[in-house]
Structure 1
Amino acid sequence: MKLRKICSGLLAVAISMVALIPANNQAVAATGGAYETGVYRNLFVETGKTQAQVDAKLQAAWDKLFYGNDSSERVYYPVGTDMAYIKDVANGDVRSEGMSYGMMICVQMDKQKEFDNLWRWAKKYMQQQSGALKGFFAWQCNFSGGVMDSTPASDGDEYFAMSLLFAANRWGSNTTGIDYNKEAQTILDAMLHQSDDGQGYNMFNKTYNQVVFCPTAGNYDFTDPSYHLPAFYELWALWDDSDNALWSQIAATSRQFFPKATNATTGLGPDYAEFSGAPKDVSWSSGHSDFRYDAWRIASNIAVDYAWFGKDAWATTFADRLHNFFYSQGVTTYGSNYTLAGSKLNSDHSPGLVAMNAVAALATTSDKSKEFVNDLWNTSIPSGQYRYYDGMLYFLGMLHVSGNFKMWGVQSQTTVTLGDANDDKNIDALDFATIKMYLLNSSTAINLKNADMNEDGSVDSLDLAAIKKKLLNN
């Protein structure tokens, strides 16, 4: 009876509380992130949405962007019975970026047919089979598959490789006649060894161990900060058939690069940068030393790496800095292009940037983060002329924020004992008290995986109620 009274009293204090995003973020570094725990946090649920509401949102995005109205909603267009492409509606072309993003969305949504259709089109029309660009993908084609520009864009190739590896781990290679792992290994090999035969350029600069803007003459000596994907490199260090130590080094180098490339006050980074992190202008296009459309993705790359691996505590400094800046601009009204110092260059409140700023909440320690998550929730699925880029980033952002963008093939590195919140190998009233104290004070030491009684990706009042029930039933 005494235990029942204690539990009931503590529950009355905490039952109305919803776990705060910052509280969970402060524990990421200590737990090693999702790679160690197997927990992918659902920020929408943490801010009060139900799982059913989140599932419906994702399904609606899939239905519209992949199978919606031809002229105003969809970006996925089937070709024959076994191929498809992602259409950049505004520019009237097909891009390696969009094709690889589309494949990543498909593997995360468990849509193997659509994944295979996109890959078959990309492999047939975009992947180059000989010469100095062998293994890489032409960044731009027309709708018939004709190459408009054979230059590879590094981010597309990176996403192709990662999505293929996830597909191999989720569905198994050769289940539909495509050896996903073999195709991925071919791309990874080209990234680091294209120039071994004396022709062409690698996709990662050998001197600086950084991803290059393009593996071609004149574009090999600088980078695009949004192409840096340390979370992917960590997995390639595990899954590449070779070069494992080098991928680990490349991941570490990218983490060291981000503080140099982003503004110390606003958190904004440029589209293009020197390997030193200094903003980079180019002669053939203007404005890329500013925070423009490519640079939107930097926030997601940093925050996801932190959420998955928890290796770079600076990520929380960055995410807070970035959210503070955009908060000062108005969470629902900020523009989409700025100078790095924070001068607004336009007033478009673009869904793609809204999505990337919401993903940054995976690393923030400020209560402001909830407002950025809510802004994404309230943003309509992109439609119309500019639905391609905004739509792809919106969908990727929704997957990350909802805990549905996962490292397929990675098993939790820790043993889970639901209820043992204080990690003392027992489940008792002390665990109830630990969860209660964690809700009141996020600095309380806690095993988040064990404390997540309903395994919904967050520790909140529902878990407190669940452990109370467990203890009373025992």
Structure 2
Amino acid sequence: MVKQLFAGAVVIASLLSAPFVHASVAWESYKSRFLMADGRVVDTGNKNVSHTEGQGYAMLMAVANDDRASFDSMWRWTEKTLKDKKTGLFYWRYNPVAPDPVADKNNASDGDVLIAWALLKADQRWHDPRYSAASDAIANAIIEHNVDNFAGYVVMMPGASGFNHNSSMVLNPSYFIFPAWQAFSDRSHLVVWRNLMRDGEKLLAKMGWGESRLPTDWVALAADGSVTPAKEWAPRSSYDAIRIPLYVSWYNPQSPLLTPWRAWWQKFDRNQTPAWVNVTTNERAPYNMQGGLLAVRDLATGQPQGEPQITDQDDYYSASLKMLVWLAQQR
């Protein structure tokens, strides 16, 4: 009897630990491909530059895989190399071969949010309050420099400068990282985070054009509260916008905001789903979703998700989406 109980306990423990073990295999593959020894995460699809987005993604992955050494190396590199001491935020892009690797001194709010969220999770896992103190400082800087009231909405600008044009504001809805905003709200109890979530959902519900009824990568919010595809970019629902259903699913798998994505994608066979759509002309990409794009499609449409598999065909972004989908499933 004792042996049977012990055997059952072993089986249960094995089942509970299986996703972590499988994710660790993928994490080791991810690190070998994209993480440099100094803690810099390289974008292999974009001339090996680095972004705060990538640093934040990989820091979240490291926490989930209990890899404190990798986490600390990434955090040290990010803080030392990209920190803007004036604002408390981070320069968004690092080009290792440029005379000035951080020539653009603007930030990217999604990268800042991801870094702060990863630091908060790091304290929760490893019980080191220095992480959460750093997270709090970044979160407060985000509120100060990137959150604004515009057209009756509380919004998060994509960067501290260059997006508020007085008569309109440019938004990137894939920067609406609802699960991170919820985490900041739970920690600080500041009403601004709840307002961002509330108004972010309201704005997303208004963003949907063309045959697909999907939001575009970049959106213009007018002073009267109307939203249109931003004129400075092609009116596509594409590689930025794919993160919208990722973050919405992560936050609330039953959200009605997922309905237009499901309706559009389910018009196609899984492996024949166009990689993007132009919402003005209804033109579809001449190639189909692969890799991480399909992983997000599967998550949002409720398809069974197995362990992430990082292949040689996955560049940094595709591999990152696969890993983020796995994290979203651990909610």
TM-score (normalised: structure 2): 0.83
1:265 CA drift (Å):
6.1
Pair 1:359 & 2:299 matched: yes
Shift of 1:303: 1.6
Would you say 1:291 and 2:218 are equivalent positions? no
Once residues 258 and 219 of structure 2 are traced to their aligned partners in structure 1, the CA distance between those partners, rounded to angstroms, is 20
Shift in CA distance, 298/400, structure 1 to aligned 2, threshold 3 Å? same
Q: Tell me, yes or no, if structure 1 residue 108 matches structure 2 residue 52.
A: no
Deviation at 1:105, TM superposition (A): 0.8
The aligned residue for residue 137 of structure 2 is: 186
Aligned equivalents of 2:187 and 2:293: distance in 1? 31
Residue 351 of structure 1: how far off its partner (Å): 1.5
Equivalent in 62, 65, 83 of residue 27 of structure 2: 62
CA contact (8 A) 2:26 2:308 kept: no
Q: 2:179 aligns with which of 215, 231, 240?
A: 231
In structure 1, what is the Cα distance between the partners aligned to 2:17 and 2:116? 32
Q: Deviations over 1:79-111 (max 9, x none)?
A: 2xxxx1110112221111101101011111211
Q: Secondary structure at the match of 1:190?
A: helix
* Among 194, 210, 215, the residue aligned to 2:160: 215
Q: Which residue of 2 aligns with 1:140?
A: 93
1: distance between equivalents of 2:308 and 2:139? 36
* In structure 2, C-alpha distance between the alignment counterparts of 1:162 and 1:296, rounded to whole Å: 20
Equivalent position amino acid for 1:136 in 2: L
Superimposed CA distance per residue, residues 342-364 of structure 1 (whole angstroms, 9 cap, x where no aligned partner): 53123132322112222214xxx
Where in structure 2 are there 5+ consecutive unaligned residues? 1-14
* Residue type of the alignment partner of 2:31: F
Q: Distance in 1 between matches of 2:249 and 2:288?
A: 24
Give the structure with higher Rg (CA).
1
User: Which 4+ residue blocks in structure 1 deviate beyond 6 angstroms?
Assistant: 50-53
> Aligned pair count?
304
Paired residues of 1:237 and 1:245 also in contact (CA < 8 A): yes
State the Cα distance separating 1:146 from its structure 2 match. Answer: 3.0
Structural mapping, 1:5-404, within 5 Å: 54-55=19-20, 57-67=22-32, 74-79=33-38, 84-91=39-46, 92-130=48-86, 134-143=87-96, 146-173=101-128, 179-193=130-144, 202-207=145-150, 208-218=153-163, 221-240=169-188, 244-263=190-209, 266-275=212-221, 276-282=226-232, 286-287=233-234, 289-307=235-253, 315=255, 317-340=256-279, 342-361=282-301, 369-370=302-303, 373=304, 377=306, 380-384=309-313, 387-401=315-329, 403=330
Q: In the alignment, is the contact (CA less than 8 A) between 1:125 and 1:146 conserved in 2? A: no
CA RMSD of aligned residues (A): 2.5
In the alignment, residue 393 of structure 1 is paired with which amino acid? L
Q: For 2:42 and 2:164, how far apart are their aligned partners in 1?
A: 26
Change (3 A) 1:277 1:300: farther
Instruction: Please give the alpha-carbon distance, in whole angstroms, between the structure 2 residues aligned to 1:173 and 1:53.
Output: 27
Distance (Å, rounded) in 1 between the aligned partners of 2:20 and 2:307: 15
Letter in 1 for 2:194: S
Q: Which amino acid aligns with 2:320?
A: M
CA contact (8 A) 1:336 1:353 kept: yes
Structure 2 contact 26–309 (Cα < 8 Å) conserved: no
Structure 1 contact 228–254 (Cα < 8 Å) conserved: yes
Residues of 2 paired with 1:378 and 1:102: CA distance?
A: 17
Aligned-partner Cα distance in 2 for 1:59–1:225: 30
Aligned to 1:35: none
**1:106/1:112 contact within 8 Å kept:** yes
* Greater relative contact order structure (CA < 8 Å, 6+ sep): 1
Counterpart amino acid of 1:239? R
What is the CA–CA distance in structure 2 between the aligned matches of 1:380 and 1:356, rounded to whole Å?
Answer: 14
